[in-house]
Structure 1
Amino acid sequence: MNFEQFQGVLKSALRQPLPGSDAQHMLAPVGRTAFVPSQIEETNIRQAGVMALFVETKTRPHLVLIERATSKGVHSGQIAFPGGKVEEQDTSFKETALRETEEEIGLKASEIEVFGSFSPIYIPPSNFMVHPFTGIYHQEPQFIPQVSEVANVITVDFNDFLLDSSIKQQRINVRGFNMDVPTFYVDGHTIWGATAMMLSELRQMIIKVL
């Protein structure tokens, strides 16, 4: 699927009902329970927006991901969508996703065409409700990573995520404990946890309209 075809497929997918938690939990670690709003105190949840951003590389749709910088945080070193927490000046979760994407990878928010959003996901370790959006950057990307937050910017052909072989069970060390978790393993990169769960929904959305 080339970049032009992918844009049409993505637009069609976003017009369909979202598969939601059923698709997310295909890549959920063992023991990860579904988010039930009544089970947590809404006022204590922190809100965030992220962007599943696509760029054209050699006529193919490439998904932009970041490798988080090493830190003391619970998501240190993980591969994720660009994005971050809601700030006071943000008027919407989409604005948060765009602002944070520009800050983290250096692509201007005004040059990103947002196609739509998909299902939010709650992340218990950091107490964040994450609102994912997806869009296209139509120009040749010149990434400028925010060094305090981003160790590396990665682009991966999204067609590779559609292959069954991209999903693998791997052993991950999490804060000193080894866990066997479902992951996406593509182009040498391991993606797991909440990012993999959101990506699983996006993958299922695309597969359903192909």
Structure 2
Amino acid sequence: MIDTSFQVFSERLRERLQQPLPGEEAHRKMASSARTRLGIKPNERTRRSAVLLCFYPYQQSIYLPLILRPQYDGVHAGQMAFPGGRVERFDENLTRTALREAQEEVGIRVSDVQVLGLLTELFIPPSNFYVQPVVGVLPYRPDFYPDPREVEDIVEVELDTLLDETIVGDSKIDVRGITVDAPFYQIQGHRVWGATAMMISELLMVLGG
């Protein structure tokens, strides 16, 4: 049985996701200077992808998982992210992409996920992707089965942690030899920045609305 407070949270979040989204206003708060300095715009090679922001109740609180990408030869190596990935030709839509990728990467049973709505699609210049954040809920804490090729670690983040303004910081990060200013969220020893931080920023504005 779902905790009543989690049911209330889920219904309110669903309602807010149907209202106008803060989009760019929220994204700007956590955007690194690399977005303008790299000067990359969407083009004919831009691909589509989707990620899943999945809340669940646990120990009288509400959580959602982030993943730590392993080190590899790629632009997002070693970064914190939401489970997700690129669209495949057999995906009916971007929501299906987010669910499929979450199941493949962390083992979430997608048949139990209730999709509440979408956040604003976001362009990621370094990888030349448009990413669609999909918001959903599970009625229980899932058993995670991370794919070691895609996931080095899973970080379960309490909603109260995200709501704590003291976790917001700013630092200089090297991006392909360019030093950029990057706002971040400090979460369990990890700095969450870039597109993931921008999605969190919009999510928090939606929740605060």
Per-residue CA distance 1:107-129 (angstroms, 9 max, x = gap): 11111111110100001111100
Decide which moves more: 55-64 or 172-181. 172-181
- The 1:9–1:185 alpha-carbon spacing in structure 2 relative to 1, beyond 3 Å, is farther
1:63 paired residue number: 64
Q: 2:23 aligns with which of 20, 23, 33?
A: 20
Decide which moves more: 81-90 or 156-165. 156-165
Following superposition, the deviation at residue 3 of structure 1 comes to: 3.2
Q: Does 1:105 align with 2:91?
A: no
Query: Alignment identity in percent?
Result: 39
Asked whether the 8 Å contact 2:42–2:128 carries over to 1, the reply is no
Q: Does 1:40 align with 2:42?
A: yes
1:36 paired residue number: none
Asked whether the 8 Å contact 1:55–1:64 carries over to 2, the reply is no
Following superposition, the deviation at residue 30 of structure 1 comes to: 1.9
Asked whether the 8 Å contact 2:58–2:140 carries over to 1, the reply is no
Aligned partners of 1:11, 1:120: CA distance in 2, in Å? 17
Following superposition, the deviation at residue 174 of structure 1 comes to: 3.1
Q: Secondary structure at the match of 2:11?
A: helix
Q: AA paired with 2:42?
A: I
- Give the alignment's TM-score, normalised by structure 2: 0.90
Aligned partners of 2:114, 2:8: CA distance in 1, in Å? 16
Following superposition, the deviation at residue 176 of structure 1 comes to: 4.8
Note the residue ranges of structure 2 that are not aligned, 5 or more in a row: none
- Give the alignment's TM-score, normalised by structure 1: 0.89
Decide which moves more: 170-179 or 94-103. 170-179
Per-residue CA distance 1:3-50 (angstroms, 9 max, x = gap): 3442233123212210011111100012524xxxxx533x32111010
Q: AA paired with 2:26?
A: A
Q: AA paired with 1:101?
A: A
Aligned partners of 1:6, 1:79: CA distance in 2, in Å? 25
Q: AA paired with 1:40?
A: P
Asked whether the 8 Å contact 1:162–1:207 carries over to 2, the reply is no
2:33 paired residue number: 30
Q: AA paired with 2:35?
A: R
Moved over 6 A (4+): none
Aligned residues: 201
The 5-angstrom pairing of residues 84-99 of structure 1 reads 84-99=85-100
Q: AA paired with 1:120?
A: E
Per-residue CA distance 1:142-173 (angstroms, 9 max, x = gap): 10001101001111111221222121112334
The 5-angstrom pairing of residues 118-157 of structure 1 reads 118-157=119-158
Q: Does 1:204 align with 2:205?
A: yes
Decide which moves more: 43-52 or 97-106. 43-52
